[in-house]
Amino acid sequence: MLKKMKDEGMSLIEVMVSITILTLALAGFLSALLSFFALQQDTKERTLALQYLRAKIEELQSEAKTITGFQQILSKYIVHPDFEVEGLKAAKDDKDGKPGKVIFPLDQNNQLMETATFSEFGMPRDLNGDGKADSNATTNYTLLPLIVRIEWQSDRKKSLEIPILLTNKTP
């Protein structure tokens, strides 16, 4: 009779082992779930940043097609290179609080520099079509290199940028 009772239930050690296994499985599941939510948030932020980058590039390309396009773009973005990105918080070290920025290869006098090192565009390079990379491209340049960048803060500082080379020549 004593042997029969022993076979019918679980011992305390078996219960503790079962609880330990279930706890480890639950901890693994919760860890995976938290990682999923963090990845989902990161993907959402990157998608939003990419949408704003593309919109800003389209805006710049549209402005470049006008007669005074490059001058208009430079005048506008030299003074105010930063732009708002709704839904993203600016990086902690960003002084103006706007995550977006348009960057040009300019000298200290805000002149477009053909001789600037801008590796994304193989610079220095001829920007005004005169066949040589001068100290600056004056106002008659046909190419405008720039980078559109967004830097934001979430769990850490993140950034996304797209270099583009605008032209005001029509094909």
Q: Which tens digit of pLDDT belongs to each residue from 22-38?
A: 999 999 999 999 989 98
Q: Is the pLDDT of residue 3 over 50?
A: yes
Residue 4 placed within a domain: no
Residue 3 placed within a domain: no
Residue 114 placed within a domain: yes
Residue 5 placed within a domain: no
Residue 133 placed within a domain: yes
Question: Percentage of the chain with pLDDT > 90?
Answer: 40
Q: What does the pLDDT look like over 70-84, one tens digit per residue?
A: 878 888 888 889 999
Spatial separation of the C-alpha atoms in residues 165 and 49, rounded to whole Å: 20
Residue 1 placed within a domain: no
Domain of residue 124: give its range.
11-167
Confidence of residue 108 (pLDDT cuts 50, 70, 90): confident
Confidence of residue 129 (pLDDT cuts 50, 70, 90): confident
Residue 71 placed within a domain: yes
Residue 105 placed within a domain: yes
Q: Is the pLDDT of residue 51 over 90?
A: yes
The stretch 92-121 carries a mean pLDDT of 84
Q: What does the pLDDT look like over 92-105, one tens digit per residue?
A: 888 889 999 999 88
**Total domain count, the chain:** 1
Q: Is the pLDDT of residue 133 over 70?
A: yes
Who has greater pLDDT, 114 or 26?
A: 26
Closest CA to 60 of 78, 72, 48, 43: 72
- Of 11-25, 47-61, 70-84, minimum mean pLDDT range: 70-84
The first and second tokens of residue 96, run together, are 């103006």
